[in-house]
Amino acid sequence: MNKSKLLYLAPQNPYPPIDGGKISIYYPAVYLARYFDVTLVFPTFESKEKLKYTEEHFRKYGIEALPFRKNTTNDVTPLMFNFFKKEPFKWDKYYDKEAQTMINSIVQKRNIKYILVSAPHMAKYALQAKEKFKDLKLFLREHNVEYKLVEQFKLFTKNPIFKFIAHWQLKKTKRMEIEYWKKFEKIVFISDLDLKIASEECPDLNDKFMVLYDGFEPIVEEVNKQCIPRNPHFIYTASLKTIQNKISFEWFIKKIWMPNFDFIRKHNIKLFVTGNNDEEILKSIKIKSFQDLNIVNLGFVNNVNEEILKYKYVLSPTIIGSGLRLKILNGMACGKIVFTTPLDLTTCNVFKDMENIVKFETAEDFIQKFLILQKNDDLYIKICSNALKTIKKDFNWDKYAEILYNLILVDN
């Protein structure tokens, strides 16, 4: 069967799929390859040896991975030059004229009809290609509403220089993001909250907007009493290099964990953290020692699922951000109860407090619900089972790829 050709533009190398950003690129590519002849293009500064493994891996799925050389790390110098540019710095640093020539050549030689863009950072490449090839159909996947992230950073930062830069970049980001929305066939959001934000901001574009949850492969098949860890511990699996995670983690430690610490110490409750070194944790919570707070740093682990399965609860203390938190899906896929904030709860309509996740707002609320669950194994199993069922039903990569196929090919 001859498949339609799809050019997939991503902001980073998604292999190996070890974090939220990579996972949300990797699995759509793999599952969409069942329906399309996929060419994956992304910027990278990795070694040729490492990229060889990436290219070989994707070739097994019939995907041609074509990386191009581009350093997308943050740097002060190009930020200053961004004053004269239309695009915000966080997006402009991804653009390269030689890469644009390469992408135009791919479109022409392979007779590409459809381009899927993962994140606005790569949108300019698709729009420039459409200037040359008018029949191209463009689709944009939004991992977050990007301007809301800048807006929230501006609100939370206390550094006056950062606040000024955020104000300047917010204007650019919001203007360009909305401009991009107008130029794409469809914009796919991964959370109901982001869809709501976009619809309220641009009600005239509602026909272009839709929500499609990312998938997540179940880690366990079922939940039963044998699955309940006897320890009362929590695990937090996120990089504190990300500003949203850093702010949210500090809030949780200062406003939830520390006010309850007498209780936590008495009952020997521990919080295990993965994906960070000691310095990153200390910088995030701004204290001299975290070990005295029953916080244990596991560092960078080989298999995060194995770690999650050891502990009774997963933590997602989000107070800033957009999109959908991967750590929630990861915890649910492991058949665990995930403690979440009201912001997390609003991201997806299928999240229900005390049904498939547990919401907390205050220090008192956190301990109260913890005690309810500690005293009731049947309720614990019920919520864990519902979490796993929710993953299988609503966060399914097969369904994701089928919906995108129909959106891209059948509806157009």
For 355-366, write each residue's pLDDT tens digit.
999 999 999 999
Map out the domains of the chain as residue ranges.
Answer: 4-215+396-410, 225-394
Are 4-215+396-410 and 225-394 in the same CATH fold? yes
Report pLDDT digits (tens) over 106-134: 999 999 999 999 999 999 999 999 999 99
Q: What does the pLDDT average to over 144-170?
A: 89
> pLDDT value at position 21?
84
CA distance 325 to 329: 7
Whether 192 shows a pLDDT value over 70: the answer reads: yes
pLDDT higher than threshold 90 for residue 263: yes
**Residue 411 predicted with pLDDT over 70:** no
Supply the pLDDT for residue 78: 66
pLDDT of residue 196 exceeding 90: yes
Residue 402: is its pLDDT beyond 70? yes
pLDDT band at 1 (very low <50, low <70, confident <90, very high): low
Percent of the chain scored above 70 by pLDDT? 98
How confident is the model at residue 323, as a pLDDT?
82
Residue 317, pLDDT > 90, answer yes
Predicted confidence at residue 321, as pLDDT, reads 83
- With a pLDDT cut of 90, the percent of the chain lying above it is 77
- Kindly indicate the confidence band of residue 293, based on its pLDDT and cuts at 50, 70 and 90: very high
**Whole-number Å distance between alpha carbons of 208 and 206:** 5
Give the pLDDT band (50/70/90) at residue 258.
very high
CATH fold, domain 4-215+396-410, is Rossmann fold (3.40.50)
pLDDT at 288 over 90: no
* CATH numeric code, 225-394: 3.40.50.2000
Distance in angstroms (rounded) separating the CA atoms of residues 232 and 374: 8
Lowest mean pLDDT among 25-39, 124-138, 219-233, 249-263: 219-233
In the prediction, which pLDDT does 104 show? 98
**Strand order of the sheet with strand 234-237?**
295-299, 271-274, 234-237, 313-316, 337-340, 358-359
- pLDDT, residue 241, reads 86
Res. 153 pLDDT band, cuts 50 70 90? confident
Q: How confident is the model over 263-270, as a mean pLDDT? A: 96
Q: Which residues contact 123 (CB under 8 A, 6 or more apart)?
A: 91, 117, 140, 180, 184
Tell me which of 354 and 87 has the higher pLDDT.
354
- Give yes or no for residue 380 having a pLDDT over 70: yes
Calculate the average pLDDT of the chain: 93
The more confidently predicted of residues 390 and 281 is: 390
Contact 345, 358 (CB under 8 A): no
